[in-house]
């Protein structure tokens, strides 16, 4: 029998006072609205329907906590605003995200997701700098890689890495449609979730 990751929903928090006190190492998923954060969690855990996914941006409006195999906390963060929204609405979840990052002393790793077809923008640059300042390891994930033919993926991976000033090896590819990247990403979750982490 293959060991299947078992993940369960714990709670939603709309403000810092509602964040649960948990003993486990914690790993969070962050990125622009509609980039595929919730789908990413469904894909890596293998639990279809664990997190609500939507065609329209702005589906996740709270911070959602999940427990993986009873020993790792996984966190789905609301998205940074959709490009078509007014600036004020785009930024509506940033204070909540910042207070989350400041509050969680067991946070071991943040997955920062970028659509493989997009260029990293101000949000990604600012968040990477912010996470670095807080000393939180960050793994960049290029999502929806099924949208590009295989031959184009390596090139986009390099371009995203160049845009962020990091090595191409630090950008992981994923697809919630095909399961591409699942093994590697689950490997990172287990590594960081066990406390025996290597550098990303
Ligand atoms: N083709 C393809 N579509 C994807 C993939 N991941 C997500 N999607 C689609 O993209 C849309 C947004 O996915 P979500 O997982 O809800 O994105 P999110 O980042 O959680 O969005 P918010 O909660 O609104 O911030 C949905 O229509 C998904 O089906 C992927 O890997 N490939
Ligand atoms: Mg979501």
Q: Could you tell me if 79 and 33 are in contact, meaning their C-beta atoms sit under 8 angstroms apart? A: yes
0.85 cut: is pTM over it? yes
Question: For 101-119, what is each residue's pLDDT tens digit?
Answer: 999 999 999 999 999 999 9
Number of domains, the chain: 1
Q: Per the domain annotation, does 54 fall within a domain?
A: yes
User: Average model confidence (pLDDT) for the chain?
Assistant: 89
Q: Domain containing 68: what range?
A: 7-194
Q: Per the domain annotation, does 199 fall within a domain?
A: no
**Candidate from 34, 42, 97, 124 with most ligand 1 atoms within 8 A of CB, to mutate:** 34
Nearest-atom index, ligand 1, CA of 56: 24
Q: Which residues face 89 on adjacent strands? A: none
Q: Per the domain annotation, does 2 fall within a domain?
A: no
Higher pLDDT, 159 or 199: 159
Query: What residues flank ion ligand 2 with Cβ within 5 A?
Result: 37-38, 59-60
Q: Per the domain annotation, does 62 fall within a domain?
A: yes
Q: How far apart are CA 153 and CA 35, in angstroms?
A: 17
How many C-beta atoms lie closer than 10 Å to residue 131's C-beta? 18
Please give all residues whose beta carbon lies within 6 A of any atom in ligand 1, as ranges: 31, 33-39, 53-55, 57-60, 78-79, 143-144, 146-147, 175-177
Check which CATH number belongs to the domain holding 68 and give it: 3.40.50.300
Q: Per the domain annotation, does 200 fall within a domain?
A: no
């Amino acid at each position: 029998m293959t060991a299947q990751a078992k993940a369960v929903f714990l709670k939603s928090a709309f403000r810092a006072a509602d964040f649960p006190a948990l003993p486990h190492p914690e790993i969070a998923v962050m990125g622009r609205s509609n980039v595929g954060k919730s789908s990413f969690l469904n894909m890596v855990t293998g639990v279809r329907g664990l997190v609500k996914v939507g065609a329209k941006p702005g589906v996740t409006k709270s911070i959602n906590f999940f427990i993986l195999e009873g020993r790792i906390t996984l966190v789905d963060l609301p998205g940074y605003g959709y490009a078509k929204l007014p600036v004020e609405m785009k930024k509506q979840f940033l204070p909540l995200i910042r207070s989350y990052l400041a509050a969680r002393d067991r946070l071991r790793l943040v997955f920062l997701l970028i659509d493989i077809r997009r260029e990293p923008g101000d949000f990604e640059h600012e968040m990477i700098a912010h996470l670095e300042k807080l000393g939180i390891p960050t793994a960049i994930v290029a999502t929806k890689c099924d949208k590009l033919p295989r031959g184009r993926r390596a090139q986009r991976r390099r371009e995203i890495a160049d845009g962020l000033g990091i090595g191409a090896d630090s950008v992981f590819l994923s697809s919630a449609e095909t399961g591409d990247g699942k093994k590697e990403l689950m490997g990172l979750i287990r590594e960081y979730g066990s406390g025996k982490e290597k550098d990303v």
